[in-house]
Chain A
Amino acid sequence: MLDSDLQRFDAYASRVRRFRCQCRGVEDGINISYVRVLQVARRSCILPKLLHLVVCETYRDRSNTAKIESLISPCLREFRMFGSSRTTVIILNSLQITTSDISCLTLGSMAFDNRYISAICLLSQLQELSILKDDRFEAKSRLEDSSTFDLSFFPRLSCKKSLRRFRLDWLHIDWLDASPDSGTVEFPSLEFIDFAIFGPIAEFFRYIMVPGLKRLSIKLGLSPSKLDNFKFTEAQCRSHFFDLISRLDHLKILEIVGNCSAGTVHSLSLTVSGFPNFGNPTLEAFSVENAESNRTHLDRIRRLLDDTHMD
């Protein structure tokens, strides 16, 4: 290999800031032989100034780990990975070794367990965490893993004092293994919560403290692809959510969308915004101050509240 080859490669490789890697075996444009040649030439990172990396592992191959690790640059800020459970833990550990500046992490379409939490907790600068389920991707990659999230993970994640945004997208929340006696869990920097889940999420709000929360978005009910026996009752709405809201001084936007089975909330859709200091929400506050922008939603919440004699 000539130095001129490497110089030419480096001149252009250092311009790449965003890379989307489709691990498709020989078709992904990353021949593992190339990677090894570059590593021999003392280039542990192929793209030295990469800021954003997206990995979609639709084809499982032993060489994928080496390929992905070779793409992790010291200045990487955002990492998104879809479709593998076996490779991901290794990659997450490589992330915290190679780069200390990861601020945005997205993991999708994989079974989530304690090893992930341990690896995530080592990412010291993490501000945004998204854990997603993508049915289309799973169908495409024929993965067998189910996307679950144990509520006991939350206390462990609270060690992430820098976390500002937390998103869970259509995961099954497993409450059974969580310990209700673990006390109150505080996320001091958390400003945005975006949960789309099916499971007893109301229980979650009994023991978390998010004093700086500005936006709370919750979608409840049925997964787009899967029926579930989840029950979200009006009583839960009243006891947990409105108690929670009353404790959130900084909340400006609240979105709750529900679509539950018979015997529970049939349709709950609420969007509230523009409250500099939310205080104790009342039905009048919902309907009067937001009548112009959210009339449809507010009418629906009003009927729900009237039915259950909430005011």
Chain B
Amino acid sequence: MMKPAAKRDPLTGTLEMLILRTLSVAPAHGYAIAQHIARLSDGVFRVEQGSLYPALERLLQKGWATARWGESPTGRRARYYTITRAGRKQLQEKVSDYDRVAHAIARVLGRA
């Protein structure tokens, strides 16, 4: 079962959080997800493809996202990922975890 939120390591699953956040806007294929993350982070997060697809596979296995084959704008077959209800819930939790941690760090650094 889920451990209490405070005890979880805040940085695990950051990539998953970013992916879920991306998917929460609209279903997307892997490349689009990577692009989206890179663009929004001003190129700070360059998602290594080697970690992107295993992360997506993990999301599928946890049931936080589903995948189906669809047609991409270029006309090629692409695998589109869609966030599930469980995924949204998870995202919410992760974001609030993250907020708490970010807030905590900010306070320690004397910026809050």
Are chains A and B native binding partners rather than an unrelated pairing?
no
A interface residue numbers (CB < 8 A to B): none
